[in-house]
Amino acid sequence: MKFNLGLKRPFIIYLAALLVPINWLPAQQPTGQEILDRINEITNVTNSSSVMTQTIKTSSGQLRTFELESYSANKGEKTLMRYRKPSSVKGQAFLMLNHADDIWTYFPRTKRVRKLASHAKKQSAQGSDFTYEDMGGGDTWKEEFEPTNLGEVELEGQSCWKLQLDGIPEKEPPYPKMTIIVRQEDYHPLQVDYYSDREDVMKSLYMGDIQEVDGIPTAMKLTMRNHDKATETKMEVLSITYDWEPPKGFFSERNLKK
């Protein structure tokens, strides 16, 4: 009598399958929430101090490059940016508190500090294609969006996850939808697409030259391209450290004037 398992293929094949090491199997796909948590860990570092350049296109069609120092604390809740070059705006500074809900600016020529209106948060930050809100950081993405992992994609030869963030209407998100492509290697975003109301990609943020700084992967080059206006703003990090503690009163109107 034949031993019949009711199988058409040899038993050995099934046995071999059971013996395959577990790490040979495809990686389990993380959930959207897990990816977003990992992104937040990387991009929302507690404190940072950096020097960077920002290049914009003026209304005359010329490129204008600024050099500025930027300080951030409490996972982006507080930010201070101060211009170093060119001379026309040297010393001009912006202080953003409460994730850019409150913005002050200091003018060195008049030595006056002025507060910008609360709705300025959604407006272009200093002539760039970023809004103050884009720079605000924090848990905005986690709080105002519903994440979904759209699966594995490849970008610039790197295996990535594509994450879709759908805005939660009652939270009044800055964009109705976003997609983020993150490296599987370290969950650092490589590309963020911001959607307009029309469901079209309004602008995209491209992050490149990712280097390890103080143990944290950091994009040294960022380009925000506005597809509607055909403009782009480039930012390049010249130096950065996360090993920085803000002195007491650093994020204050008084320090803004220094």
Q: Which is nearer to other proteins, 112 or 171 (CB)?
A: 112
Q: Is 235 exposed, middle or buried (0-12, 13-18, 19+ CB in 10 A)?
A: buried
Alpha carbon distance 5, 10 (integer Å) = 10
**Residues found in the chain:** 258
Q: Which is nearer to other proteins, 49 or 126 (CB)?
A: 126
Residue 162 neighbours by CB under 8 Å, 6+ apart = 149, 150, 151, 152, 153, 179, 180, 181
Alpha carbon distance 233, 90 (integer Å) = 20
Q: Which is nearer to other proteins, 171 or 229 (CB)?
A: 229
Q: Which is nearer to other proteins, 124 or 184 (CB)?
A: 124
Q: Which is nearer to other proteins, 109 or 171 (CB)?
A: 109
CB of 196: closest distance to other proteins in angstroms? 9
Of 24, 14, 39, nearest to 161 by C-alpha is 39
* DSSP states of 175-188: SSEEEEEEETTT--
Q: Which is nearer to other proteins, 56 or 220 (CB)?
A: 56
CB of 104: closest distance to other proteins in angstroms? 11
CB of 22: closest distance to other proteins in angstroms? 50
Answer whether 181's CB lies under 8 Å from 174's CB. no
CB of 247: closest distance to other proteins in angstroms? 26
Q: DSSP letter at 42?
A: H
CB of 87: closest distance to other proteins in angstroms? 4
Residue 129 identity (one-letter amino acid): D
CB of 96: closest distance to other proteins in angstroms? 13
Q: Summarize as ranges the residues that interact with other proteins (CB under 8 A).
A: 56-60, 62-64, 66, 83, 85-90, 92, 105, 107, 109-110, 112, 114-117, 119-120, 123-124, 126-127, 226, 228-230
CB of 168: closest distance to other proteins in angstroms? 25
Q: Which is nearer to other proteins, 51 or 216 (CB)?
A: 51
Alpha carbon distance 165, 32 (integer Å) = 9
Q: Please give the helix or strand (H or E) that residue 49 lies within, else none.
A: strand 48-57
Alpha carbon distance 182, 186 (integer Å) = 8
